[in-house]
Structure 1
Amino acid sequence: MATAGRSSPPRRANRLIYERSPYLQQHAHNPVDWYPWGQEAFDKAKRENKLIFLSVGYSTCHWCHVMEEESFKNQEIGEIMSKNFVCIKVDREERPDVDKVYMTFVQATSGGGGWPMSVWLTPDLRPFVGGTYFPPEDSAHHVGFRTVLLRIAEQWRQNQEALLQSSQRILEALRSLSRVGTQDQQAAPPAQEVLTTCFQQLSGSYDEEYGGFSQCPKFPTPVNLNFLFTYWALHRTTPEGARALQMSLHTLKMMAHGGIHDHIGQGFHRYSTDRHWHVPHFEKMLYDQGQLAVVYSRAFQISGDEFFADVAADILLYASRDLGSPAGGFYSAEDADSYPTATSSEKREGAFCVWAAEEVRALLPDPVEGAADGTTLGDVFMHYYGVKEDGNVSPRKDPHKELQGKNVLIAHSSPELTAAHFGLEPGQLSAVLQEGRRRLQAARAQRPRPHLDTKMLASWNGLMISGFAQAGAVLAKQEYVSRAAQAAGFVRRHLWEPGSGRLLRSCYRGEADVVEQSAAPIHGFLEDYVFVIQGLFDLYEASLDQSWLEWALQLQHTQDKLFWDPKGFAYFSSEAGDPSLLLRLKDGAWGPWAEQGWSWRWADVTPCPLQTRMEQSPLPTLLLSQTCSEQPRIPATWSGWKRLGRSWLPSLRGCRRSRWPCPRWPGPLPCSITPSNRW
């Protein structure tokens, strides 16, 4: 497609204007002849013997926005791209299979990865050069994107045969790397050995002061925290069990006090850029909210500390209010970047969430009754949340100077010390902080909101179903269970094909909030089945509505039929039959979110009213055996093994909800589903 002339802004739409993905829509007016992933682009590359430039990202990705602004909106760079390459854009959240194949290549060749992912392919889709973000022009430390484009185009013209041979060798190496699940089956290691190794690895990497399991960046990793709860349940009378519980609860408290937790708008940001949980990467992802709601609910169930129940409620409030669809599902994410004011021309990371000291003072000028003369609401609020006159963000954590003079709220002082400092009673302090948060939230509502990705994914909605269902059962809140049922109904109506029994990957918000599908719907991947099935089991346990259990068993059967490899003892990540995928991968460690791969066979190892006899499926042991042989050096990634307690860890059968300090069950369970089967 021809691009606009240099004399006027390039506003002519390219093919991406017809796509439903918010990420692809963001690039629909680039001066680049973008194609979506599909046969039209592949045919063009073969017909014209052109290389493919593949760019993969997602709509709330900060560096994806940066590369678009610097390179993809640049008229001259756009012309170089369109002249020399068939340019393809992929939303990694729509097509995790495509992303996974080429990320495997980038990680294998560079030792790292991330988004935006930039990969150059031969016309038959074999990768030979790849990376992530490229600056537009050369610098002392980096080769610019313009130079990379020109060099690769020249190499294709001059050394085409050599590049083809290189790409074939790369493909063969990738196939070798991807042979997870092709070795001979090995016996699963003893349960206690694996649990101990996982615990020791987490204990060794634990941050004693601030919690978490790394220095920085620091991610919430709820799967690790859930594992530690399991380890405590099995070893609660031992020093190791006590340490497991201490590590998990301390981490959860430090996260909730930190800036990674949005104290004004609720919910959690993606990760912290420092070990203190202070300065976050400000995007908010649905999958984090679902998992964290579960882990905070469990923390309350174990400890009886209302603090954790309050945080779980905080997360679910954010998810319902800001990510909830009127149709019943949940949107995917909120961006990190936004305009500081309605008249701003440039977005900044965190602009929606940060505060200048003078803003806080202006919003909270009232004197505090009972405090020292002259003490205002602002004084107390700023003391508690660490607000400083010149900002509380270290320049080392603000390389682009977007947060200069701003404050990221963090519970800097304990409530007891703050109350004592100002001569207040604890109840007075709580009221002051609550009023301060209310006023700041009202002021923040007047700011331009970050971009909302209104794509709705089956897998992430499944995680949110679990979050609401488990919180509803533990906190005894029927409204949470009802919200989980509403989301499950949404998935059934909009993301499931009754005829084939298959899930769909995604749907989208259209005009007037009407739910729409793309012209060529994308069928679900393994993660979609895993998380929807788990959500349905959690919803069944919270509601005892047998229809959710029946549907979960039906989906489990479909999952086994579509993804299980009986020869390789593992599940494929995607269905068979897509000729555009170079590799059909199996993934034992599974992505940045959740316990995928480990909630799979729950229906086969848990007695239920729909089964005429109790049976133990061999699939959990088969999958464990294969995973053990493939991942002997990273047992911490196996922490999802707690899901196998019913068959592989028989001692878990003794760990009942009723033994925990704060059981929360909505009513008596049928005799064939007892609390010992699901805690």
Structure 2
Amino acid sequence: MATGGKGSQSSTARPTNRLIYEKSPYLLQHAHNPVDWYPWGQEAFDKAKREDKLIFLSVGYSTCHWCHVMEQESFQNEEIGQILNDNFVCIKVDREERPDVDKVYMAFVQATSSGGGWPMSVWLTPDLKPFVGGTYFPPEDGIYQVGFRTVLLRILEQWKRNKTSLMENSQKILSALLARTDVGARGEEAPPSSKEVMSRCFQQLSESYDEEYGGFSESPKFPTPVNLNFLFSYWALHRSTTEGARALQMALHTLKMMAYGGVHDHIAQGFHRYSTDQRWHVPHFEKMLYDQGQLAAAYAKAFQISGDEFFADIVGDILLYVSRDLSDGSGGFYSAEDADSYPTVQSTEKQEGAFCVWTAEEIRWNLPDPIEGIPEEKTMADVFMHHYGVKEDGNVNPMKDPHNELKGKNVLIVQYSLELTAARFGLQLEQLKTLLAKGKEMLSKARGLRPRPHLDTKMLASWNGLMISGFAQSGAILGKQEYTDRAVRAASFLRHHMFSTVSGKLLRSCYRGQGNAVEKSSIHGFLEDYVFIIQALFDLYEASLNPSWLEWAVQLQHKQDELFWDPKGFAYFSTEAGDPSLLLRMKDDQDGAEPCPNSIAVTNLLRAASYTGHKEWVKKAGQILAAFSERLLKIPVVLPEMARSAAAFHQTLKQVVICGDPAGEDTRELLHCYYSTYTPNRVLILADGDTKGFLYRHLGFLSSLEKKDGKATAYLCENFACSLPVTSSQELRRLLLP
């Protein structure tokens, strides 16, 4: 099979290595390398000890651009392969399949070098302790960087001459790392003040905010939905203040600029991973499932708050892409699409962005139709190129194109407002919208003839959870039943394929197998799998009102407590206990591209307590906040999701109870009010009168709540004490927005 490496074609004569028996698309990409790769496991560890050899650990993922580059340059190089095979035990790890392994050694690389990233290259002693690490290495020495071949030979020489010293240094580094990653509370510490944490987080975000283009850095620029969710919550809690207005403006402006930019795929929908420049123009072209899920929810909330249909359109755009390109027939969602692809069917070398970019000539060829009724003789291409910033010699800054792959090419970006473009060409606004939509459709067909980028068909529990939340929240807010139905299909897929009814445990991943059958992995779920799925099930209950999702969420919460809770330092470990190959049991302490699992766990615990009355979970939520209190008080900007959850903890989640028949018009009116009103820190409970159902069995007070005057009735409850009943959406809205 093709390696998927950039510019690579695998040799059919080359013998395979052990990775050929793996299911991970990333490991299979390396199965034909001349490197004698092992998967992470006892066979490799035993060989290293038996032969007293160092381990070379290479970690990446199948849609990682620089992983492809290093594979082509080094791992397909016969001479480098021989050096590795003769002197090291080589282990290849898919970071998405084994985030536990990745996080341990990434912590080491970040602590001992100037940064981290993938591919990650780490050299370990035979007992798995790291002593040298880095990321991408070019094959040969350059002006600014030592080559991979040189690094290998130097490390080998050090191992031969100074083995004892290396082992001692490795142990020292490990001890320091253990101290550095030790997150926990000492005794019964109180959770930090949410007012102080929220205020400081807002201040720190405001200081890093890009006033012109939105976002919170100059470049590279990542979507970071956790920042946007924090700002929405901050606005809702400070609606009448200048700071509240600024928080909302920062979030909405960022979402608009991202949608206008090249980081948004204007032809085939969805969002690319990040922008390499300040103005969201030139992206890193891979598309990740976790971005789509979180961004769909963020744009849905932006519509919920602003009422601006622009944001609703972007939600539809994202969910169309995921439904079409990242969906398995079984109901699950695939992980990612690659950045690299072959420019033409005849090409032998892959290029980054080849599937997505355009020359001016290509756009003229595909959009030749003249536009009638305007003063000048203009074609559809003229209007399209003007609106989307297309230039004859390409619109990509050479500084953002280190390999000259985008020379003469254009990344589409909304250069002008619809009003300005319409005025420029003497078009009516609706006429322009129709023209641009037709142009996108025609270019989409043209792009469909190009070789597609590699699709990582691995299905991860955690990322599926994030995507279910995206569909469920969007379905509820936009009133789109098809989105809720898609979320239900995906949740059913998880319950059928990635959950053991015997052990009550989740699996980490599964794969599209032969004949589109689903193949399960043997890797158990990690903390992130539990928290993102539990969150998804709560979101799905609110959208579908089916209490079976609540039951499963509560079951998983109990299992999460059993497997991951730290009774001494509080909060949850990222991994189960008992794996001897893991040197550290860590707790993530940063919200990044995905939220830190402990951040989401706080809100999950509060929601679970609201649905069950189980107060031990409220206590646990406070203990997590206490465990992270130092970071929350000093640099909450690295934990905006946890800062947001601190407010939920201190203010107590409000239970919005609606008594009625969900099929009744009066009940639907109250539900619509709930879905269309943005207020953080609340849960929805449908009291449908089923006294034997899950909610009535756990929440005794529901039996005392009744309809008023025979109409669907809403109550706002806090700590299981409820307001006076209301029967109109106007009255409910006043309760939700005091």
**Structure 1 603/418 Cα, relative in aligned 2: closer, same or farther at 3 Å?**
closer
Match of 1:313 among 311, 316, 323: 316
CA displacement, residues 538-591 of structure 1 (integer Å, 9 cap, x when unaligned):
000000101000000000000011001111011100000000000011112155
Structure 2: 5+ residue runs without aligned partners?
Answer: 1-10, 658-669, 689-701, 703-713, 719-735
**Structure 1 299/578 Cα, relative in aligned 2: closer, same or farther at 3 Å?**
same
Q: What's the secondary structure of 1:647's corresponding residue? A: helix
Q: Give, in angstroms, the shift of residue 631 of structure 1.
A: 5.1
Partner of 1:539: 540
Matched, 1:257 2:260: yes
Match of 1:153 among 152, 156, 165: 156
Q: Aligned equivalents of 1:650 and 1:664: distance in 2?
A: 17
Partner of 1:670: 687
Partner of 2:232: 229
Q: Aligned equivalents of 2:110 and 2:313: distance in 1?
A: 40
Match of 1:296 among 295, 299, 307: 299
Matched ranges for 1:568-587 at <5 A: 568-587=569-588
Q: Aligned equivalents of 2:572 and 2:609: distance in 1?
A: 24
Matched ranges for 1:442-591 at <5 A: 442-518=445-521, 521-591=522-592
State which drifts further: 227-236 or 629-638. 629-638
Partner of 1:203: 206
Q: Aligned equivalents of 1:581 and 1:148: distance in 2?
A: 25
Q: Give, in angstroms, the shift of residue 172 of structure 1.
A: 1.2
Matched ranges for 1:584-603 at <5 A: 584-594=585-595, 596-602=597-603
Q: Aligned equivalents of 1:651 and 1:604: distance in 2?
A: 11
Q: What's the secondary structure of 1:217's corresponding residue? A: coil
Partner of 1:5: none
Partner of 1:19: 22
Q: Give, in angstroms, the shift of residue 644 of structure 1.
A: 4.8
Q: Aligned equivalents of 1:523 and 1:660: distance in 2?
A: 37
Match of 2:144 among 119, 141, 144: 141
Q: Is the 8 A contact 2:571 2:598 kept in 1?
A: no
**Structure 1 649/13 Cα, relative in aligned 2: closer, same or farther at 3 Å?**
same
Q: Aligned equivalents of 2:379 and 2:488: distance in 1?
A: 45
Q: Aligned equivalents of 2:716 and 2:378: distance in 1?
A: 52
Q: Aligned equivalents of 2:315 and 2:611: distance in 1?
A: 32
Q: Aligned equivalents of 1:572 and 1:661: distance in 2?
A: 34
Q: Give, in angstroms, the shift of residue 399 of structure 1.
A: 1.2
The residue identity in structure 1 corresponding to 2:17 is N
Q: Give, in angstroms, the shift of residue 670 of structure 1.
A: 2.5
Q: Is the 8 A contact 1:303 1:662 kept in 2?
A: no
The residue identity in structure 2 corresponding to 1:476 is G
State which drifts further: 588-597 or 543-552. 588-597
Matched, 1:416 2:415: no
Q: Give, in angstroms, the shift of residue 180 of structure 1.
A: 1.2
Q: Aligned equivalents of 1:407 and 1:62: distance in 2?
A: 20
Q: Aligned equivalents of 1:333 and 1:604: distance in 2?
A: 30
State which drifts further: 588-597 or 87-96. 588-597
Q: Aligned equivalents of 1:199 and 1:676: distance in 2?
A: 29
Q: Aligned equivalents of 2:193 and 2:486: distance in 1?
A: 40
Q: Give, in angstroms, the shift of residue 646 of structure 1.
A: 4.2
**Structure 1 212/179 Cα, relative in aligned 2: closer, same or farther at 3 Å?**
same
CA displacement, residues 334-380 of structure 1 (integer Å, 9 cap, x when unaligned):
00000000000100000000000000001111111222231110000
Q: What's the secondary structure of 1:598's corresponding residue? A: helix
Q: Scaled by the length of structure 1, what TM-score is found?
A: 0.95
Q: Is the 8 A contact 2:192 2:632 kept in 1?
A: no
Matched, 1:120 2:137: no
Q: Aligned equivalents of 1:486 and 1:251: distance in 2?
A: 32
Q: Is the 8 A contact 1:503 1:528 kept in 2?
A: yes
State which drifts further: 313-322 or 605-614. 605-614
Q: Give, in angstroms, the shift of residue 168 of structure 1.
A: 1.2
Q: Give, in angstroms, the shift of residue 406 of structure 1.
A: 0.3
Partner of 1:389: 392
Q: What's the secondary structure of 1:597's corresponding residue? A: helix
Q: Aligned equivalents of 1:591 and 1:92: distance in 2?
A: 16
Partner of 1:360: 363
Q: What's the secondary structure of 1:669's corresponding residue? A: strand
Q: Give, in angstroms, the shift of residue 475 of structure 1.
A: 0.4
**Structure 1 43/114 Cα, relative in aligned 2: closer, same or farther at 3 Å?**
same
Q: Is the 8 A contact 1:657 1:676 kept in 2?
A: no
Q: What's the secondary structure of 2:687's corresponding residue? A: coil
Partner of 1:649: 651
Q: Is the 8 A contact 1:553 1:603 kept in 2?
A: no
**Structure 1 242/658 Cα, relative in aligned 2: closer, same or farther at 3 Å?**
farther
Q: Scaled by the length of structure 2, what TM-score is found?
A: 0.87
Partner of 1:271: 274
The residue identity in structure 2 corresponding to 1:648 is H
**Structure 1 401/353 Cα, relative in aligned 2: closer, same or farther at 3 Å?**
same
CA displacement, residues 425-451 of structure 1 (integer Å, 9 cap, x when unaligned):
000000110010000000000000000
Matched, 1:104 2:107: yes
Q: Is the 8 A contact 1:329 1:487 kept in 2?
A: yes
Q: Aligned equivalents of 1:43 and 1:607: distance in 2?
A: 44
Q: Is the 8 A contact 2:609 2:618 kept in 1?
A: no
The residue identity in structure 2 corresponding to 1:255 is M
Q: Is the 8 A contact 1:476 1:664 kept in 2?
A: no
CA displacement, residues 31-89 of structure 1 (integer Å, 9 cap, x when unaligned):
01100000000000000000000000000000000000000000000000000000000
**Structure 1 383/675 Cα, relative in aligned 2: closer, same or farther at 3 Å?**
farther
The residue identity in structure 2 corresponding to 1:669 is L
Q: Is the 8 A contact 1:10 1:75 kept in 2?
A: no
The residue identity in structure 2 corresponding to 1:442 is K
**Structure 1 57/676 Cα, relative in aligned 2: closer, same or farther at 3 Å?**
farther
Report how many residues are paired.
Answer: 669
The residue identity in structure 1 corresponding to 2:640 is S
Q: Is the 8 A contact 2:261 2:413 kept in 1?
A: yes
Partner of 1:627: 628
Q: Give, in angstroms, the shift of residue 612 of structure 1.
A: 6.0
Q: Is the 8 A contact 1:646 1:653 kept in 2?
A: no
Q: Aligned equivalents of 1:613 and 1:561: distance in 2?
A: 16
Q: Aligned equivalents of 1:368 and 1:653: distance in 2?
A: 56
Q: Is the 8 A contact 1:590 1:597 kept in 2?
A: no
Q: Is the 8 A contact 1:481 1:539 kept in 2?
A: yes
Q: Aligned equivalents of 2:646 and 2:197: distance in 1?
A: 13
Q: Give, in angstroms, the shift of residue 601 of structure 1.
A: 4.8
Matched, 1:170 2:187: no
State which drifts further: 465-474 or 589-598. 589-598
Q: Is the 8 A contact 1:62 1:337 kept in 2?
A: yes
Q: What's the secondary structure of 2:459's corresponding residue? A: strand
**Structure 1 371/58 Cα, relative in aligned 2: closer, same or farther at 3 Å?**
same
Q: Give, in angstroms, the shift of residue 599 of structure 1.
A: 2.7
Q: Is the 8 A contact 1:202 1:636 kept in 2?
A: yes
Q: Give, in angstroms, the shift of residue 651 of structure 1.
A: 8.4
Matched, 1:345 2:345: no
Q: Give, in angstroms, the shift of residue 662 of structure 1.
A: 3.8
**Structure 1 60/607 Cα, relative in aligned 2: closer, same or farther at 3 Å?**
closer
Q: Aligned equivalents of 1:70 and 1:674: distance in 2?
A: 64
State which drifts further: 364-373 or 624-633. 624-633
Partner of 1:4: none
Q: Aligned equivalents of 1:33 and 1:599: distance in 2?
A: 40
The residue identity in structure 2 corresponding to 1:558 is K
Matched, 1:216 2:233: no
Q: Aligned equivalents of 1:394 and 1:223: distance in 2?
A: 29
Q: Aligned equivalents of 2:607 and 2:302: distance in 1?
A: 24
**Structure 1 394/646 Cα, relative in aligned 2: closer, same or farther at 3 Å?**
closer
Q: Aligned equivalents of 1:198 and 1:9: distance in 2?
A: 55
CA displacement, residues 248-290 of structure 1 (integer Å, 9 cap, x when unaligned):
0010000000000000000000000011000000000000000
> What is the percent sequence identity of the aligned residues?
66
CA displacement, residues 81-133 of structure 1 (integer Å, 9 cap, x when unaligned):
00000000000000000000000000000030000000000000000000000
Q: Aligned equivalents of 2:592 and 2:614: distance in 1?
A: 35
